[in-house]
Amino acid sequence: MIPELDLQLTLEQKFQLQVIESEVATMNREKLIELVIKTSQLLMIKENAIRSLARKVA
């Protein structure tokens, strides 16, 4: 059985998103592309870490 997870953003995370939104609004295209690629890479690493931890627990 999978436990119910709280996936809502915290108040701090919502604030961080607002900061990111204001920073992104002033970035040029090259910087935005760089940011998207880096963010995608970090999400993939996070996904791999979660998958690896889940295998070790199972």
The answer as to whether 12 is a domain residue is: no
Considering the domain boundaries, does residue 55 fall inside one? yes
Answer whether 0.85 is exceeded by the pTM. no
Letter string b/e over residues 21-43, b meaning 16 or more CB atoms within 10 A of that residue's CB: eeeeeeeeeeeeeeeeeeeeeee
Rounded distance between C-alpha atoms, residue 33 and residue 40, angstroms? 11
**Sign, CA torsion 7/45/15/24:** negative
The range of the structural domain enclosing residue 36 comes to 28-58
pLDDT at res. 3: 81
**Residue 19 included in any domain:** no
* CA of residue 56 relative to chain centroid, distance: 23
The residue ranges of the chain whose pLDDT is under 50 are none
| Domain count across the chain | 1
Q: How far apart are CA 33 and CA 27, in angstroms?
A: 10
